[in-house]
Amino acid sequence: MNVLMPRSGFYIIRCPKCGRYTYAPTSQKTRLCVYCQRIFKINPLNAIFVEDAKTARTRVKLYQTGKHHQEFMAAVEKARAHIKPLIPQEQVDLNQIQEKEAPHQPVSTRRRELEKILYQHARTKTLDLQNLEQECQKAGIPWDWTVRQIEGLIRSGHLISPKPWQICLVGDEAKTDEVATPRMSPTKLARKIADIIRKSSTLINHTQLIEQLENESISEVDSEEALTLLRSQGYVIKTPKGNYQWTGD
């Protein structure tokens, strides 16, 4: 989304994950929340523009007290009234974008490609998150998958974030599976995933399912292998929108 905004200045924003206030230069489209360590996109429609960093810091401290939320929202609404006329009316159909995406990459291939990008671009200098997204797009690596890997690497200490919109590799390797955990057999894991999908009252999105399993220390590689097993045997199908549906008995 390209909108006409001042070339320099700062956005005051709220993290969509934890709700804490923060700020970022208008040149940045993505940043890391220093409170919950989650990466999110900066949406100008949910932000306030200020001229300098000092004003941004002062406002953030004020809003962080929790006593001026309505003031913040009123300022956001006022800014939206100015920005909305500049946004094209025709919106892109997300389903069409998904249909044009590159063929599905095995997780092991994604992992190798991401490690290569980090080694080349974040080992001796900082790498902006939006530049990382561009490199991942060139390599055919899904951004939502990349975000989860980067957040994990920051938590494990393999990456540091000198600025909330930059990352830097610590050491010479960027392994995303360093933590040793007991592996569940593909068959046993397939039964576990089948149970989750079968008992769910609604269709489960692929990303949500992977995140749920990762929270139980099950790697994405193992989860993908088990899902492939279930799909090949006809127990589940994956809809065009990325949801899993139980089709077994």
- State the chain's mean pLDDT as an integer: 80
Let me know if the fold of 10-86 is the same as that of 186-246. Answer: no
| CA–CA distances in Å: residue 167 to residues 84, 86, 116 | 32, 32, 15
Give the span between the Cα atoms of 13 and 229, in whole angstroms. Answer: 43
Q: d(Cα 216, Cα 218) in Å, to the nearest integer?
A: 6
Question: Could you tell me which CATH class the domain 186-246 is placed in?
Answer: mainly alpha
Please give the share of the chain, as a percent, with pLDDT higher than 70.
Answer: 81
Domain boundaries 10-86, CATH class = alpha beta
Cα 156 to Cα 137: distance, rounded to the nearest angstrom: 25
What pLDDT is attached to residue 178?
A: 41
Is the pLDDT score of 105 beyond 50?
Answer: yes
Element (H, E) at 169: strand 166-169
**Per-residue tokens: 75:** 């300022």
Give the distance from CA 105 to its chain's centroid: 18
What does the pLDDT look like over 164-191, one tens digit per residue? 899 998 865 555 444 334 556 777 888 8
pLDDT, tens only, 56-72: 888 888 888 888 888 88
Domain extent listing, the chain? 10-86, 94-169, 186-246
User: Going by C-beta distance under 8 Å and a sequence separation of 6 or more, which residues neighbour residue 83?
Assistant: 3, 5, 44, 45
Q: What is the pLDDT of residues 107-156, one digit of tens each?
A: 778 888 999 999 999 988 999 999 999 999 999 999 988 998 998 888 88
Is pLDDT of 79 > 50?
A: yes
Q: What is the mean pLDDT of residues 39-67?
A: 88
Q: What's the sign of the alpha-carbon dihedral 35, 41, 46, 49?
A: positive
